[in-house]
Amino acid sequence: MQRSVLIVFLLCHLPSVFCQVRLTLGPHENEGHVEVYHSGRWGGVCDDDWDINDAMVVCRQLGYQSASEASVFAKYSNGSDVTTFYWLDNVQCSGNESSLESCPRSNQWGAHNCNPVGENAGAVCSNCARDSCSKNGACVTSPSPGVGNFTCTCAVGWTGEFCQEDVDECKLETCLNGANCTNTGGGYTCSCRDGYSGINCQTNLCDPSPCQHDGVCVPESRRYQGYQGSHGYRCDCQHGWEGTHCETASGVLTTCTKNRMEIDIPRGYIGGLPAGYLQLRDPTCNATGNGTFVSISTPLRGCGTRRMVTSDDIIYTNVITNRRVYIRGIATRIQSVRITVQCRYPRVVQAKFHYQPDSRVIEFRDSGTGRLGFEMRLYATSAFQRVYDQGNLPIRVKLGEPLYVGVKVVGGDQGLAVLLQTCRATPSPDPDDTTGFLFVVDGCPVDDTVTLVPSPDVTESRFTIRAFSFITNGEQVFLHCDAIVCNATDPQSRCSQGCVTSANVTHAERIRRSAGNGNHLMIGPIIGKVSKDNGGRVTSSMVLLFAVLATSALTGLVLAGVVLFQPAGHRCDVASSHWTVA
């Protein structure tokens, strides 16, 4: 520190502009607090209005090319309370001046309003100019002033004094395993042979082999595989196995019903292991078998089956293992078996009338898919206790009086909740019929006569709607509802939120959001009929005919009925109009 101050002081005996300024207290020669020499005395510069333009003038005055920083608040005082005598304040350089003394300022020499402690202006000077190094290098200055007192630190792939020369990595044999190397500006690319990958083609995709169950790994060009994201190899599987890595046992069957997972395994996959040796997580749940297959079945919420709810699916998982039998406690002749079985049920799926299961068992990782069952019910009263069925018909309901409707998850898992997403009325079985209207959107009623009714059963969602008829094309009325399933114990699920109201969500916006798919259920058609009362007047009535359609075990039941209206030209006494459940 004393050395740098001494050198500048000696220079001040020479006829040079360097006599006017110096840097003090900095860790290096090129940085510190700025001081100026005037009237035979060194004094500091106050940091009011101090910026990089001021520092640039100071650094050029000292023989540097530029300034990289303008500091304030006595950066180099290290917390000391040494007082400073200030010569300058409110310096406002443009950056082009030849000396600090030439810069505009609002005060005369020695006039300031600064605290003698803690307001020193400072600078960090650099020998780096904008074009000192090429764009591929970073300039690092030397503490001593001078045009060439700097070095260039090159980016990867570049060399030379100013980082102007490209490194030819291909001459360094960077690419491995017979790959073709292409040099690029500042880098390179390797074109790998079939079966290799990595930046330098250093990875052999078939060593170790990713193929299971004695499958053979064969290198294969990604250019010739018919799908995106190919692996660069294929697995040629042994008989009885299939899949990308020969992980799937062909011929094994899993069935996902609304209540159970059922797995049938050909005996060839477990050797001579007796069927009774296979068990689920709950060891009391064992397999049975015949001469061809070994079968094991588990309830969705039994035998240790675990449930997980994702944004798209409800997943049930269990594990089949074998009971171990040891010889004298130290050996065994029974091969270990571990098969993870899984059934997935989509949370949001349209299923109007029936479902055909499509699943299979995977050895060691078994996954199947299924559909949960739903029922749309019409109740007799607001107590939601008695459900109309064929034996109760006909039941008469007047126009304008409420209908009591419930949508329920049916199946073995009572830990699921259901939320009505969208409900719509149409004059035909087509839920997209243009003649129709929405009465529930995004879980919220959008019709004045609709009321969502709390249900003590989380597996059922209930609502009421008053009887109505279509003015045109009014011979039939169908009610359609889309539903979503959630984990009943998750307080953050969409079902727990119910109708989410917001001042920013308009009625039109709710209708726009209703365009998604759901578990689709329908009541209808409802048919009206013409009759005469005791006075001989023609009256209109509605007959709600519930026909329970037989469907597969995995789909919700669909309740159907029809509304008949009086022929055109007949006078209708609205007061005597009614709906009849037939």
Each residue of 129-159: pLDDT tens digit?
888 999 999 999 999 998 889 999 999 999 9
pLDDT at 227: 39
pLDDT at 369: 63
Question: Among residues 332, 354, 366, 165, which one has the least CA distance to residue 254?
Answer: 366
Q: Is 271 or 191 the better-scoring residue by pLDDT?
A: 191
- Residue 131 one-letter amino acid: D
Question: Among residues 379, 395, 400, 394, which one has the least CA distance to residue 576?
Answer: 400
> Do the Cβ atoms of 304 and 282 come closer than 8 Å?
yes
CA dist list (Å): 547 to 351, 399, 537, 562: 18, 21, 31, 10
CA dist list (Å): 430 to 263, 354, 367, 434, 521: 37, 16, 34, 9, 12
3-state SS string for 201-232: CCEECCCCCCCCCCCEEEECCHHHCCCCCCCC
**CA–CA gap between residue 450 and residue 476 (Å, rounded):** 20
Structure tokens at 495: 């079902």
**CA–CA gap between residue 15 and residue 5 (Å, rounded):** 18
Question: Among residues 448, 313, 431, 285, which one has the least CA distance to residue 372?
Answer: 313
pLDDT at 57: 94
Average pLDDT of the chain is 75
Please compute the mean of the pLDDT values over residues 116-139 and round it to a whole number.
91
Lowest mean pLDDT, pick from 22-26, 61-65, 338-342, 513-517: 513-517
pLDDT at 368: 56
> Do the Cβ atoms of 480 and 423 come closer than 8 Å?
yes
Residue 3 has pLDDT above 70, yes or no: no
Structure tokens at 150: 């700097």
Residue 310 has pLDDT above 80, yes or no: yes
End-to-end CA distance of the chain: 105
Q: Is 515 or 491 the better-scoring residue by pLDDT?
A: 491
Question: Tokens 């899949």 label which residue?
Answer: 243
Say whether 274-371 and 2-126 share the same fold: no
Please compute the mean of the pLDDT values over residues 48-52 and round it to a whole number.
91
Q: Which residues contact 171 (CB under 8 A, 6 or more apart)?
A: none
Please compute the mean of the pLDDT values over residues 11-21 and round it to a whole number.
47
Please report, rounded to a whole number, the percentage of residues in the chain having pLDDT higher than 70. Answer: 72
- Whether CATH 2.40.50 fits 274-371: no
pLDDT at 397: 63
* Residue 240 confidence class, pLDDT cut points 50, 70, 90: confident
Q: Is 498 or 327 the better-scoring residue by pLDDT?
A: 498
**CA–CA gap between residue 153 and residue 58 (Å, rounded):** 26
> Do the Cβ atoms of 110 and 43 come closer than 8 Å?
yes
Please compute the mean of the pLDDT values over residues 266-275 and round it to a whole number.
75
pLDDT at 546: 32
**CA–CA gap between residue 212 and residue 492 (Å, rounded):** 41
> Residue 29 is inside which H or E element, if any?
none
Please report, rounded to a whole number, the percentage of residues in the chain having pLDDT higher than 90. Answer: 24
pLDDT at 205: 92
> Residue 60 is inside which H or E element, if any?
helix 52-61
Please compute the mean of the pLDDT values over residues 237-260 and round it to a whole number.
81
pLDDT at 541: 37
User: What is the tens place of the pLDDT at every residue in 317-334?
Assistant: 888 888 776 555 555 555
* Residue 391 confidence class, pLDDT cut points 50, 70, 90: low
Q: What SS3 state is found at 65?
A: coil
Topology annotation, domain 374-581? Immunoglobulin-like (2.60.40)
pLDDT at 206: 92
pLDDT at 31: 94
**CA–CA gap between residue 378 and residue 374 (Å, rounded):** 13
pLDDT at 12: 39
> Do the Cβ atoms of 46 and 74 come closer than 8 Å?
no
Residue 282 has pLDDT above 60, yes or no: yes
**CA–CA gap between residue 78 and residue 74 (Å, rounded):** 8
CB-based burial label for 70 (10 Å; 0-12, 13-18, 19+): buried
pLDDT at 421: 87
Count CA within 13 A, CB hemisphere, residue 308.
7
pLDDT at 55: 94
> Do the Cβ atoms of 256 and 555 come closer than 8 Å?
no
pLDDT at 222: 67
* Residue 268 confidence class, pLDDT cut points 50, 70, 90: confident
Lowest mean pLDDT, pick from 29-33, 100-104, 271-275, 291-295: 271-275
Please compute the mean of the pLDDT values over residues 109-124 and round it to a whole number.
89
Question: Among residues 376, 346, 378, which one has the least CA distance to residue 518?
Answer: 346
**CA–CA gap between residue 290 and residue 286 (Å, rounded):** 14
* Residue 540 confidence class, pLDDT cut points 50, 70, 90: very low
Most confident of 239-248, 330-339, 356-365: 239-248
Instruction: Detail the DSSP E strand segments found in 55-205.
Output: 66-71, 86-88, 122-126, 137-141, 150-154, 158-159, 165-166, 180-184, 187-191, 196-197, 203-204
* Count of CB atoms situated within 10 Å of the CB of 406: 20
**CA–CA gap between residue 367 and residue 294 (Å, rounded):** 17
Residue 384 has pLDDT above 60, yes or no: yes
Looking at 3.10.250.10, 2.40.50.100, 2.60.40.150, 3.30.9.10, the CATH number of the domain 2-126 comes to: 3.10.250.10
| DSSP label at residue 567 | P
> Residue 507 is inside which H or E element, if any?
helix 507-513
Question: Tokens 């293992």 label which residue?
Answer: 321
* Residue 124 confidence class, pLDDT cut points 50, 70, 90: very high
pLDDT at 330: 54
Pairing of strands 451-453, 444-445: unpaired
* Residue 428 confidence class, pLDDT cut points 50, 70, 90: confident
Radius of gyration of the chain (CA): 42
- Residue 479 one-letter amino acid: L
> Do the Cβ atoms of 544 and 390 come closer than 8 Å?
no
∠ Cα 495 499 505 (to 5°):
130
pLDDT at 137: 92
Pairing of strands 196-197, 547-548: unpaired
pLDDT at 551: 27
> Do the Cβ atoms of 395 and 545 come closer than 8 Å?
no
Residue 355 has pLDDT above 50, yes or no: no
Residue 577 has pLDDT above 80, yes or no: no
**Domain ranges across the chain:** 2-126, 137-166, 205-242, 274-371, 374-581
Question: Among residues 556, 571, 542, 417, which one has the least CA distance to residue 480?
Answer: 556
pLDDT at 474: 55
